[in-house]
Structure 1
C-alpha cells in the first residue's frame, strides 16, 4: 500500500511539474505576443525581396549571400529571410549573428534628434586600450544571446515566415558592421541585421536593404573605415574588396 501511495505521489508531482513548465512557457509566449503587438516594421515578403535585391546589387567583400533579421522596437525578432536561392546558400552561423546585430542596433538607437548607432560605429571603442579608459571596452559581452532559444526549431523553417526565431527576444551584442536601426520618420521602429560576408560587406548590403525598405533615418550611422582602427582613433577596420562600400563615412 505504501509503495502504491509513493508511486501515485511521484506521478502526481511529476504531472504538476510538467504543467508548471508548460504554464511558464505559455506565459513567456504571451509576453512575446504582447511585444509583437507593437508590430513588425516590415513584412517577411518585404524583407525577403529587399535583401535579395541588395545582395545582387552589392559586389563588395566575398560576394556572398546573407541572412537578414529584423527586430521590432521591443527587441523581438519579427522577420527572418535569406538572400540566396536555398537555405544552404549562406553561412548557417550568420543567422544568429544577424539577429544579434539587429538587437544591438535597435537597442542603442534613439528617436531624433539624438539618432542612431550602427554596430559598425562601435568597433573602435570596444577594443582594449593600452592606457585603459576605453569607455565601451567590454560592451560586446553585454546582453548575451540566448543560444538555446536561437538554435531551437525546425531547420527547414529557417528563413521563412515560420522561422522559429520569430517572436523571440534572443538578445546579443555585436560590435562590427551589419546592424542598422530602422526609422519611420524621426522614430526608431526596430533594427536590421545582416550577416554572411565580411563585416564591411554586411554593412554595405544592410545599407542597401534599408534603403530599399524606405526606412533610413538621418544617415549618420555610417561605417567609419580606417586603415588602423584603434580605441584612440575609433573607426572600423578595412575589409578585403571594400571599394564601393555603401554607407561609408570615410576611406583612408
Structure 2
C-alpha cells in the first residue's frame, strides 16, 4: 500500500504530541493473552533469523499495559528489544485513527524518514522528536521483565520507531492501542507482529498498514524475508 505524504506527515505530527496528558485506558489484552498469541506467532513464522521476540502493548493513551516474550526466559531474546518493542507500540498507537482513515504501521514510515535515492525524506528527524523516558525501563531485577511486575507497566514511555514491527490495534473499527514486536530483523518483527495481531483478533478491517518492499518508496529487504506476512508488492 502506498500512503500519501499528507496522511503520513499529519499522523507523524500526532505521534510527536501524543505523549501528553491522556489518561490510561483499558488494555486491549492481558499479559497472558499476549504471551499465548506471541509464542504461537513466533512458532508459525519462518522469516528472519529465527530469533525470539519481545512484545509490548499500549492502551489508547500510549501507556504500556501488557508485556511478553516468546523465549524460555527474559534473556532468551535480545534484552535491548524490550524497550524497542515498547517504542514501536507507542508509535503505532500514536499513528492510529479510525480504520477507514488508514492505520499506519512503523514499517510504512521508513521511506519518509530514511529518504530515497532521489533525496526525498520529508520526515527526516522524526525519530528524535519524541525521546524515550528511560526512568522506569530498567528498574528492578531481570526476573520482573515480561511479567505482571515489569517496571514499564503503566508508564507512558514515548519513543518513535521508523522500521517494521509496530502495528495499531483495533476493535469494531476503532483504534484501541498499539502492538510492538522486536527481537529479529525489522521484516521478521513486522511479520510476526502481523501474525500476533491476527491471533489476538485486533486487526483493522481492512488491514491496510502493510509493509511494502522497494528501493525508492518502500521498506528495505531483510535476510530471509520471502515469507514475510502483511506485505504489499511494490
**Equivalent residues in 2 for 1:1-252, closer than 5 Å:** 35-36=23-24, 38-128=25-115, 134-217=121-204, 218-226=206-214, 228=215, 233-250=216-233
CA contact (8 A) 1:157 1:164 kept: yes
Structure 2 alignment gaps of length 5 or more: 1-19
User: What per-residue deviation string (whole Å, max 9, x for no partner) do you get for residues 42-99 of structure 1?
Assistant: 0111000000000011011001100000000000000000001111110000000000
User: What per-residue deviation string (whole Å, max 9, x for no partner) do you get for residues 187-246 of structure 1?
Assistant: 0000000000000000000000000000010210001012x2xxxx32000000001100
Task: Quote how far apart the aligned CAs of 1:161 are.
Answer: 1.3
In 2 relative to 1, CA 47–197 (structure 1 residues): closer, same or farther, beyond 3 Å?
A: same
Task: Quote how far apart the aligned CAs of 1:148 are.
Answer: 2.5
Structural RMSD (CA): 1.8
Task: Quote how far apart the aligned CAs of 1:152 are.
Answer: 2.0
What TM-score comes out, normalization by structure 2 length? 0.87
Task: Quote how far apart the aligned CAs of 1:133 are.
Answer: 5.6
User: What per-residue deviation string (whole Å, max 9, x for no partner) do you get for residues 6-35 of structure 1?
Assistant: xxxxxxxxxxxxxxxxxxxxxxxxx99x83
Task: Give distance in 2, aligned partners of 1:87 and 1:150.
Answer: 14
In 2 relative to 1, CA 244–133 (structure 1 residues): closer, same or farther, beyond 3 Å?
A: closer
CA contact (8 A) 1:154 1:164 kept: no
SS in 2 for 1:150: coil
Counterpart in the other structure of 1:27: none
Task: Give distance in 2, aligned partners of 1:203 and 1:128.
Answer: 20
Task: Quote how far apart the aligned CAs of 1:115 are.
Answer: 2.3
User: What per-residue deviation string (whole Å, max 9, x for no partner) do you get for residues 82-137 of structure 1?
Assistant: 00111111000000000000000000110132120000000011024677663211
Task: Give distance in 2, aligned partners of 1:113 and 1:39.
Answer: 22
In 2 relative to 1, CA 240–156 (structure 1 residues): closer, same or farther, beyond 3 Å?
A: same
- Determine which structure has more spread, i.e. the larger CA radius of gyration: 1
RCO greater where, 1 or 2, for CA within 8 Å and sep 6 or more? Answer: 2
Moved more, 60-69 or 142-151: 142-151
Structure 1 alignment gaps of length 5 or more: 1-30
SS in 2 for 1:69: strand
What TM-score comes out, normalization by structure 1 length? 0.81
Task: Give distance in 1, aligned partners of 2:42 and 2:99.
Answer: 29
Task: Give distance in 2, aligned partners of 1:175 and 1:94.
Answer: 14
